[in-house]
Structure 1
């Protein structure tokens, strides 16, 4: 029998009955056999946790004991709660979608009489917006305040190569082809492999990062915490850095790391990590650290 604890973040569903945990574990094992990415499996777990956490105490107890007791009214109540909390439509949608797929599995397996998530009753309309690249002046101001080789490389990989946060997070040195000046990304979104080529400023930052060492791990960006030795830097850690540097640069627009992916054609910037750099006609010295 599949064990839920073998999956990353499986422990967050320990409040469920053993029967429920076995159902979820079997479902995740099926997805795993179909080559679903680990991050997708984690998303399924987090969706179930988010759903149960925002039910009324009485219904939470019932569903934690038996997931097959979930009804359309439970979905109604959950939607009303998350909307009152001000969750974005995209966040609600990104939880509903994996829930719908999980309940469809329960229905197909004969555990549920009817799918509790109804398309016309529970559908969430998502606003369609164009990609939002960072303004050129904001990019310059953002990189100007970064005083770390590691952190500069993190955001250059997003800016120059279009890497996602999770792809930067899990990048290994073995994926870097120094001769071809490229990086191989395996099993990216949609289980697609691809090769991206980097520019001279990324090459320089990669060499500087390599010279500083990797703490004995295969990752380009290993976690700095002892409790996570051998693991990559967390997504939350990267997002925190983005917020910190945006604040230090005094940017008035709110940006996320993903915004950098839409600036691939931005011209090469002077490196802060050369011994000297020229800005507005004034030569200044930069501080270099990891």
Structure 2
């Protein structure tokens, strides 16, 4: 996985899921059959895991057996099949209403935390991208951020608004001087001064969501940025580049969510049609004679 340039976060998740499967498997790896994998999927369903999560476990198992064949030269048949994947719903991305955003940010007084979540909302950064952000990635002169090794190991450039730039500058002004180049650092405990982890950022998000009585998550802030851009008239390809989507189909989901743009297009066309109908009707009705 490292040779294929997977992120450390992805490698950790794969290994954890593989460890859970191998710990459950009651027979040697070579003796595993599709029946055992199906039993394991049932075991995960009983734990009320989401279909998307269960399919990710299945992908790990499939990848492991492919590794045994291609890397280790073991003649072991994979016990997984394509038909095992759970059917998944295709829900729309969930954005956040402005009233919820106002409540959420009203309870955040910590400058570090405000800067982190403002980067997600205004720049569309993923939580892993915020955690990995370094001082040299920020270009204040051009108001842009170089996102290095994003999802899929791809670099991209995104931009920050005045609001996000001000929040980031306010934190950098009080950030402790250290040789560590990561921007966001832990402020308390034994890890003080060390880079803040992905889970550490998520815990801060959960804390403020409870405090503000909202259901905001890190990824919902990213969804909100995309939806607001689309409602504001931004091109779908521009949004794809800013979010770092590899496929345009992923970005197109927001066009189904963007009610303001849909409303605008609907009423614009309807107004034109109804005006044309009124003119036609007026021309067809004969004048009334006394």
Aligned residue number for residue 11 of structure 1:
none
Aligned residue number for residue 222 of structure 2:
261
1:247 aligns with 2:194: no
Taking the TM superposition and a 5 Å limit, the aligned residue runs for 1:182-261 are: 182-216=144-178, 217-224=180-187, 227-228=190-191, 231-251=194-214, 254-261=215-222
User: Per the alignment, in what secondary structure is the counterpart of residue 244 of structure 1?
Assistant: helix
Taking the TM superposition and a 5 Å limit, the aligned residue runs for 1:117-136 are: 117-120=80-83, 122-136=84-98
Q: Shift of the alpha carbon at 1:97?
A: 1.2
CA deviation map 1:201-259 (0-9, x unaligned): 111112111111245121111233554466421222211221221121122xx332100
Taking the TM superposition and a 5 Å limit, the aligned residue runs for 1:150-161 are: 150-161=112-123
Gaps of 5+ in 1: 1-30, 268-290
User: Per the alignment, in what secondary structure is the counterpart of residue 109 of structure 2?
Assistant: coil
TM-score w.r.t. structure 2 length? 0.72
User: Per the alignment, in what secondary structure is the counterpart of residue 32 of structure 1?
Assistant: coil
CA deviation map 1:123-149 (0-9, x unaligned): 111111111101111011111111110
CA deviation map 1:108-130 (0-9, x unaligned): 3442431111112x211111111
TM-score w.r.t. structure 1 length? 0.72
- C-alpha contact 1:103 1:112 (8 A) present in aligned 2: no
Aligned residues: 226
CA deviation map 1:37-62 (0-9, x unaligned): 22222222122123234x26xx1xx4
Q: Shift of the alpha carbon at 1:186?
A: 0.9
User: Per the alignment, in what secondary structure is the counterpart of residue 146 of structure 2?
Assistant: strand
Q: Shift of the alpha carbon at 1:70?
A: 2.9
Find the structure with the greater CA-based Rg: 2
- C-alpha contact 1:214 1:221 (8 A) present in aligned 2: no
Q: Shift of the alpha carbon at 1:98?
A: 2.3
Describe the shift of the 1:92–1:231 C-alpha distance in structure 2 as closer, same or farther (beyond 3 A): farther
- C-alpha contact 1:214 1:220 (8 A) present in aligned 2: no
- C-alpha contact 1:153 1:202 (8 A) present in aligned 2: yes
Query: Comparing both structures, which one devotes a greater share of its residues to helix?
Result: 2
1:82 to 44, 51, 59: 44
- C-alpha contact 1:175 1:185 (8 A) present in aligned 2: yes
